[in-house]
């Protein structure tokens, strides 16, 4: 069961029970810095892999390690969908952990029920017909530390929408979503992150407090 859903910039981060407050904060901060760094250095119309590669490099620079069993295979054309949830879950087909699936579903439901956060999520991620989303379920992995699966998506609609959730209903056929994904899994041990914590916080001083938003659920 997910006990917390947080919007971190343009990412929807969900936590399974079992994290300490410090572990949650470390994940939020390092995720925020990675996203901010990639946004700052990659042009919006660049290939999805350019952004995702910089994002991953930023995580590795502050102590995260790649899950070799869930290596990103580069952009993948997922197909055409008529709801955001359908598209997101399609990107998780190769992830076996039921807990991660449950956390991600919970985060989408929380977003659907929080209209203000939904509008903010759209405004941060969408520009005309194209949008970029990240869905990030996390769970503790005992001696392996914190684990997060990052599913990055580039979504193109057939005509411009104000809100991709379309009042929580299925999107009309002529506004179908064309989806491309890139994904990866990452581990973080607290002792590996300790040397970088202050540096990350200093760099995050450029980001406003509204970069983080807890969702109602």
Q: For position 190, which CATH number holds?
A: 3.40.198
Of residues 86, 11, 63, the one with CA closest to residue 191: 63
Tokens of 133: 């989303």
Rounded to whole angstroms, the Cα distance separating 27 from 49 reads 22
Write out pLDDT tens, residues 59-96.
999 999 998 877 544 556 567 776 777 777 776 766 77
Strand partners, 135: 12, 151
Strand partners, 150: 184
Please report where in the chains the tokens 């969408």 appear, as a residue.
126
Strand partners, 147: 139, 187
**In a domain? residue 52:** yes
**In a domain? residue 167:** yes
**In a domain? residue 173:** yes
Q: Which pTM does this prediction carry?
A: 0.86
- pLDDT classification of 124: cutoffs 50, 70, 90: confident
**In a domain? residue 216:** no
Question: What pLDDT score was predicted for residue 14?
Answer: 93
- Please give the mean pLDDT across all residues of the chain: 81
Rounded to whole angstroms, the Cα distance separating 87 from 105 reads 12
**In a domain? residue 106:** yes
118, 26, 100, 214 alpha-carbon torsion, rounded to 10°: -20
Alpha carbon distance, N-terminus to C-terminus of the chain: 12
Cβ neighbours for 154, distance < 8 A, ≥ 6 positions apart: 48, 75, 130, 131, 132, 179, 180, 181
What residues make up the domain containing 189? 2-204
**In a domain? residue 14:** yes
Question: What pLDDT score was predicted for residue 51?
Answer: 86
- pLDDT classification of 126: cutoffs 50, 70, 90: confident
Calculate helix-pair angle for 21-41, 48-61, nearest 10 degrees: 140
What are the start-end ranges of the E strands in the chain?
Answer: 2-8, 11-16, 65-66, 76-81, 126-127, 130-140, 146-157, 177-188, 212-214
The DSSP symbol for 85 reads: H
**In a domain? residue 63:** yes
Question: What pLDDT score was predicted for residue 81?
Answer: 73
Question: What's the structural domain count of the chain?
Answer: 1
**In a domain? residue 82:** yes
φ and ψ at 19, to 5 degrees?
A: -90, 145
- pLDDT classification of 198: cutoffs 50, 70, 90: very high
């Amino acid at each position: 069961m997910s006990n917390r859903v947080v919007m971190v910039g343009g990412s929807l981060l969900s936590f399974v029970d079992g994290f300490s407050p410090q572990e949650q904060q470390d994940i939020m901060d390092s995720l925020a810095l990675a996203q901010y760094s990639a946004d700052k250095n990659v042009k919006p119309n660049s290939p999805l892999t350019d952004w995702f590669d910089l994002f991953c490099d930023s995580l590795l620079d502050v102590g995260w390690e790649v899950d070799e069993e869930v290596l990103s295979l580069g952009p993948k054309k997922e197909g055409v969908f008529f709801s955001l949830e359908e598209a997101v879950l399609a990107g998780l087909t190769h992830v076996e952990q039921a807990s991660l699936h449950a956390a991600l579903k919970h985060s989408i439901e929380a977003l659907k029920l929080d209209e203000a956060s939904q509008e903010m999520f759209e405004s941060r991620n969408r520009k005309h017909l194209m949008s970029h989303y990240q869905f990030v379920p996390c769970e503790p992995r005992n001696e392996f530390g914190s684990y997060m699966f990052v599913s990055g998506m580039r979504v193109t609609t057939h005509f411009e929408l104000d809100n991709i959730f379309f009042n929580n209903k299925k999107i009309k056929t002529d506004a179908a979503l064309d989806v491309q994904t890139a994904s990866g899994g990452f581990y973080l041990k607290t002792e590996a992150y300790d040397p970088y914590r202050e540096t990350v916080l200093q760099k995050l001083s450029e980001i406003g407090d509204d970069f983080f938003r807890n969702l109602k659920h």
